[in-house]
Amino acid sequence: MKKQNRTVARVLGDRAAGPYLAGVVVSSFGTSALGTVAGVWVKDLSGSNTLAALCTLAMWLPTLAGPALGLLADRVRRRPLLIATDLALAAALLTLFAVRSPDRVWLLFTVLLVYGAVLAVQDPAESALLASVVDGELLGDLNGLRTTAAEGVRLLAPAVGAGLYAAYGGPAVAGVDAASCAVAAAVWLLVRVAKEPPRPTADGTWREATAQGARQLWGHPRLRPLVLAGGATMLLAGVNAATTYAVVDALGRSPAFVGVLSTAQGAGSAVAGLLSGPALRRLGALRLAAAGIAVAALCVAARAVPYDVVTVACSAGVGLGLPCVLVAAFTEVQRETPVELLGRVSATAGTVVNAPTVLGLGGGAWLVAVVDQRLLSVATGALLLTVAAALTRPPATAARTTSGEPPRTAAPPSARTGAGPPATAPPGEPRSPAAGWPSAHPARRASRTADRSSSDANPA
């Protein structure tokens, strides 16, 4: 425990990590508050349940273009990019003060799409920048603490956002989120960048350069299984989330009980953030991810047992397990990717991990209508255990390439040209999650994607 406390103190005292975590708290608050009220705002103005439901989709949709948008992080200087996008998003959010009638709902959807696109650019830019300025040994802890900070804020922000909306309307919430963007931009001004990112190189057309990131990810013997496992996990997490109201019905509870389950899941994720850094050092990325998926699998399956205490404990367990695979995957991406490719590789990994969440939610919504919830929960848990088992296969088998050749041994970060921070600060996102999840998804989203993944995919 003392060693863990010392590590936390090192992270908080780091010249880049400390300010960054402060930015996470503020920016996550604004994002969560707006995300909570956007659908309600549209519903009140339009009276349409369908349009209200599309708000979440509007923010997620740009994730599909993540690999192409992430290339920006490799083509321009990263800190100015983060500052500019935060300020641009703040300006876009201020236009929502004009949304006061049904004929202006289109403006809200436009801003939500812009929001999603900004997050898709910021995630890889944050991941790449932090990997070059934060001590590599602290990256896992930083990503874990980011998860804890974001989840802690998420427990409070929805209630505060709903209260602001009830008292002052949607524009007030948009104003709070715009202010959080401005704070995030100021945080990046405090981060000292000792080593400038590489200048743009002649790497062909935009499509060719984007494909280079995908080839780097797919050809790496450790990153490929981790990222694929993350995508499979979030797909199944989406299916599990779609069963939440059916689970509550089986308990004989009102829909409001979902709030209790969401709180338990958030608490579990906060604990996971504190433990994932030390666990990553002790177990390694593959075993940490496998352990987290296994914990989530058992808890998902146990949701078939219709008892309040069991269901609440299972929600906490899912919250504990899911961030582990996200922290492991994104931290390994930071550590194992050459710095000149880190933007597009991080973006590609984010898309592979996060995009299946939407498919899982949609498929789960259909399945829960035709399959008994208990059977669906057990089957989903069993599939998650299969994913965990795949990560425990011997490296020589699990990492073998599609051509049948033995896996390549990745050079350590210090041996790769341009990879990782200077020698005085060895490398080490969830280097972010985060990613949330989210994941969030660091200051706004190598931070918020991972966080959003773990929380939105599993509201309970």
Q: Read off the CATH number of the domain in which 447 is found.
A: 1.20.1250.20
Question: What DSSP letter does each residue of 159-204 carry, written as one string?
Answer: HHHHHHHHHH-HHHHHHHHHHHHHHHHHHHHHS--SSPPPPP----
* 3-class secondary structure, 53: helix
Contact between 74 and 340 (Cβ < 8 Å): yes
Q: Please, what's the b/e burial string for 405-443 (b: 16 or more CB within 10 A of its CB; e: otherwise)?
A: eebeebeebeeeeebbbeeebbbbbbbbbbbbbbbbbbb
Q: Is residue 417 part of a domain?
A: no
- Residues with Cβ < 8 Å from 83, sequence gap 6 or more? 185, 188, 189
Q: Is residue 358 part of a domain?
A: yes
Residue type, 328: A
Write phi, then psi, for 401 (nearest 5 degrees): -75, 165
Report angle CA 180, 264, 165 to the nearest 5 degrees. Answer: 40
Can you give the pLDDT at residue 107? 95
Q: Is residue 418 part of a domain?
A: no
Can you give the pLDDT at residue 56? 78
Can you give the pLDDT at residue 1? 56
pLDDT per residue of the chain (460 residues) written in tens, 0 to 9: 555 556 666 666 666 777 777 777 888 888 888 988 888 899 899 888 778 878 877 888 888 888 888 888 778 888 889 899 999 999 999 999 999 999 999 999 999 999 999 988 888 888 777 777 676 677 777 778 877 877 788 778 888 888 899 899 999 999 999 999 999 898 888 877 665 545 555 456 777 777 887 888 888 888 999 999 999 999 999 999 888 888 988 999 887 788 788 888 888 988 988 888 889 888 999 999 999 999 999 999 999 999 999 999 999 999 999 999 999 998 888 888 887 788 888 888 888 998 898 888 888 888 988 999 999 999 999 999 999 999 987 654 444 433 333 433 333 333 333 333 333 333 333 333 333 333 333 334 434 544 544 555 555 5
Q: Is residue 409 part of a domain?
A: no
Q: Is residue 166 part of a domain?
A: yes
Q: Is residue 284 part of a domain?
A: yes
Q: Is residue 413 part of a domain?
A: no
Can you give the pLDDT at residue 74? 79
- Domain assignment of residue 366, given as a range: 2-192+206-401+427-456
Report angle CA 42, 45, 51 to the nearest 5 degrees. Answer: 35
- Residues with Cβ < 8 Å from 274, sequence gap 6 or more? 4, 8, 144, 145, 148
Query: What is the rounded distance in angstroms from the CA atom of residue 151 to the CA atom of residue 131?
Result: 22
Reported for 163-167, long-range contacts at CB under 8 A and 24+ positions apart, including other chains, are: 164/33, 164/37, 165/37, 165/40, 165/41
Query: What is the rounded distance in angstroms from the CA atom of residue 219 to the CA atom of residue 221?
Result: 6
Residue 437: strand pairing partners: 451
| Cα 255 → chain centroid | 26
* Torsion, CA 198, CA 354, CA 454, CA 94, rounded to 10: 70
Can you give the pLDDT at residue 339? 78
Can you give the pLDDT at residue 287? 93
Query: What is the rounded distance in angstroms from the CA atom of residue 267 to the CA atom of residue 105?
Result: 34
Can you give the pLDDT at residue 398? 41
SS (HEC) of 99-142: CCCHHHHHHHHHHHHHHHHHHHHHHHHHHHHHHHHCCHHHHHHH
Can you give the pLDDT at residue 195? 56
Q: Is residue 198 part of a domain?
A: no
Find the radius of gyration of the CA atoms of the chain. 21
Contact between 124 and 350 (Cβ < 8 Å): yes
pTM of the shown model:
0.72
What domain count does the chain have? Answer: 1
Q: Which residue has the tokens 């299972």?
A: 314
